[in-house]
Amino acid sequence: MSVAMAMATRKHLLLLLLTFSAVVASASSICEDVLASSTCGGFAAATDTSDMYSKVTDPTLSASHLQDLPGFTRSVYERDHALITPESQVFSPLPGWLNTLAAYMITPAMGAHFTMYLATMAGNSSSAEPPSGIERFVFIVKGETTLTADLPQGTATLKVDEFAYIPPGSKHTFSTSHSATLVVFERRYSKGGDGAPKLFTGRTNQQPNLETPGEVFDLRKLLPATPTYDFNIHVMDFQPGEYLNVKEVHYNQHGLLLLEGRGIYRLADKWYPVQAGDVIWMAPFVPQWYAALGKTRSRYILYKDTARDPLLHPY
């Protein structure tokens, strides 16, 4: 082989090596943004989800970033909707809970028939049970907590992206030796159908991705869609540029926490830029619509009352 041919071969091999390295780097970068599966394009993706929703508790635009703008807030309260942003969230001791602070985002004082709050549990903390007749749904945003309840194994350790449904009257305690942040939905149970709802736990990515005709978002329902349950919790994913096709107007109420990403939310005749950590309340029949912006996935968790005749259950 001549010297010229040898040099050409070496250059060709070097070019192939550089090209492969670039492909690997690109695939690795993509995998960092994908949590829906354990692999991505043949490359192993990280399975640690402990920081999955870190922007909820440490948002891109937080109170600390607004210190030079006294009096400024993105929060809005209207007759039929509200946007509660991180710089406006007020935490105080949660009655009956040990070493726990909470910020109530949605309550009946707004006209809602449910409550929604963020609970920050410090080390060696524990929960209290809700009043009689109240059902509870808990979703882990940060850290982990131990649920002690009427479970086959007696206890369950819940981590980020995991949840528990507690029917009314079920004895239970959430506790943690370190710290955890929970989003909690509570409402007075409205009986319907046969039987009674059951206590159970689960994980978001274990729920099936449901087809929604005419829409492009991914939808997972965390509760059974049966008459036994009077509400459901939806987790909805939008890729950048995707949006709701239907401009919704309906009798259902919503409570929403943006877990990841950013976008534009239309509520009534107003348009709001929103980001992870923002909470939204939507009253019955308020026009609503969402579009995802930015470079990463938008994900939100949403409360919706279901399976009840609004004539018989008007609230």
Running along the chain, 315 residues long, what does each successive block of 10 average in pLDDT?
A: 46 40 39 39 55 88 74 95 96 98 98 98 98 98 97 94 98 97 98 90 97 95 96 98 97 98 98 98 98 98 95 78
Alpha carbons 240 and 63: distance in angstroms, whole number: 26
Strand partners, 158: 145
- The CA-based dihedral angle spanning residues 284, 282, 94, 174, taken in that order and rounded to the nearest 10 degrees: 90
Alpha carbons 228 and 183: distance in angstroms, whole number: 23
Rg (CA), the chain: 23
DSSP conformational letter for 266: E
Examine residue 27 and state whether it is found in any structural domain, yes or no. no
* Number of other residues whose CB lies within 10 A of the CB of residue 236: 20
Range of the domain at 103: 59-305
* Tally of structural domains, the chain: 1
Examine residue 258 and state whether it is found in any structural domain, yes or no. yes
Examine residue 17 and state whether it is found in any structural domain, yes or no. no
What is residue 62's predicted lDDT score, i.e. its pLDDT?
A: 72
Examine residue 35 and state whether it is found in any structural domain, yes or no. no
Examine residue 9 and state whether it is found in any structural domain, yes or no. no
Give, in degrees to the nearest 5, the angle at Cα 224 between 121 and 244.
85
Token pair 């995998």 is at which residue?
31
Strand partners, 174: 147
Residue from 163, 118, 106 nearest 140 by CA: 163
Examine residue 208 and state whether it is found in any structural domain, yes or no. yes
Q: How far is CA 301 from its chain centroid?
A: 4
- Which residues have C-beta within 8 Å of that of residue 62, sequence separation ≥ 6? 86, 87, 277
**What sign for the dihedral angle of Cα 200, 204, 205, 207?**
positive
Token pair 């006294």 is at which residue?
70
Q: How far is CA 32 from CA 88, 204, 217, in A?
A: 31, 19, 21
Examine residue 34 and state whether it is found in any structural domain, yes or no. no
What is residue 315's predicted lDDT score, i.e. its pLDDT?
A: 66
- Which residues have C-beta within 8 Å of that of residue 213, sequence separation ≥ 6? none
The enclosing domain of 67 has a CATH number of 2.60.120.10
What is residue 31's predicted lDDT score, i.e. its pLDDT?
A: 39
Alpha carbons 290 and 293: distance in angstroms, whole number: 10
Alpha carbons 140 and 202: distance in angstroms, whole number: 11
Examine residue 45 and state whether it is found in any structural domain, yes or no. no
As given in the structure block, the two tokens for residue 54 are: 């870190």
| Helix ranges (DSSP H) in the chain | 3-32, 54-57
